[in-house]
Structure 1
Amino acid sequence: MVGILLLTHAPLGAAFLQAAAHVFRAMPERVEAIDVIADQNIDEVHALARAAVRRLNDGAGVLVITDVMGGTPSNCCRQLGEPHEVAVIAGISLPMLLRAITYRQDTLDVVVEMALAGAQSGAVRVDNRVRVAS
């Protein structure tokens, strides 16, 4: 089973895990969050992330999801493992996370594609501002 690591600015990762636990009615297995606090040492974050990847990888790989490209959490994603063992995507959303959890019995590449598809299809306009001409 593909492990999932949320590496985000505090307190996003923990909040996303709680939301996933609510949806699935239990905390999903092999999913962890590291919430990076302001001014946290980047070497410390990198060490925490490497340790989490080792814990989460049962041989199927680990998907690391971060919040925003270029921030400290995403900058700590470099060199977390071999490319076939660790995949990193940015722009976390709840639809992305739920889709990743749902499909993680598949290969790491499939989980990445499903997570990205969940993010894309999850962002929709829901108000009634579109009017039909009469």
Structure 2
Amino acid sequence: MSVGLLILTHNNIGQTLYNTAIAVIGSATLPTQVLVASMDCDIDEMLQQVRSSLQRLNNGEGVLILTDMYGATPSNIASELLNPERVLVSGVNLPMLVRVMNYPKLKLNDLAEKAISGGQDGILALTARGTEK
């Protein structure tokens, strides 16, 4: 068994990231669902969709929820449904998602830490000489 993964973002950000991560890794490594919270979504309806997805994805190991931006609709919806078996990490990017998918055997809290470190490690500023800034 492994942690479930829910990617909840605006528009098609999550699906595009997920498809790209699969192309990089080669296959899905975690039970995953991608949901879209459109700008004009019905919040109550979206809450129900997310609640159902979280129940489906949790096989006893918990669910990691990745959202695109803290304080926006996807994160706000997910925040309302948090409990000890659910961890929310906002700011999803491709390095974060690839890192998560590379560690399918980690426990929920450890996987959340990997998500954060993967996301942060993937953000670099380079000078013309190629040195990090």
| TM-score, with length taken from structure 1 | 0.89
8 Å CA contact 1:18–1:27 kept in 2: the answer is no
Counterpart CA distance in 2 for 1:29 and 1:4 is: 7
CA-based RMSD? 1.7
Task: Provide the residue aligned with 2:11 in structure 1.
Answer: 10
Task: Provide the residue aligned with 1:120 in structure 2.
Answer: 120
8 Å CA contact 1:4–1:30 kept in 2: the answer is yes
Structure 1 runs of 4+ aligned residues shifted over 3 Å read none
Structure 2, unmatched stretches of 5+, are none
1:130 CA drift (Å):
6.1
Which amino acid in 1 is paired with 2:14?
G
8 Å CA contact 2:3–2:64 kept in 1: the answer is yes
Counterpart CA distance in 1 for 2:125 and 2:81 is: 36
Which amino acid in 2 is paired with 1:63?
L
Larger C-alpha radius of gyration, 1 or 2? Answer: 1
Structure 1, unmatched stretches of 5+, are none
Counterpart CA distance in 2 for 1:78 and 1:32 is: 17
SS of residue matched to 2:52: helix
Equivalent pairs: percent with the same residue?
Answer: 35
| TM-score, with length taken from structure 2 | 0.90
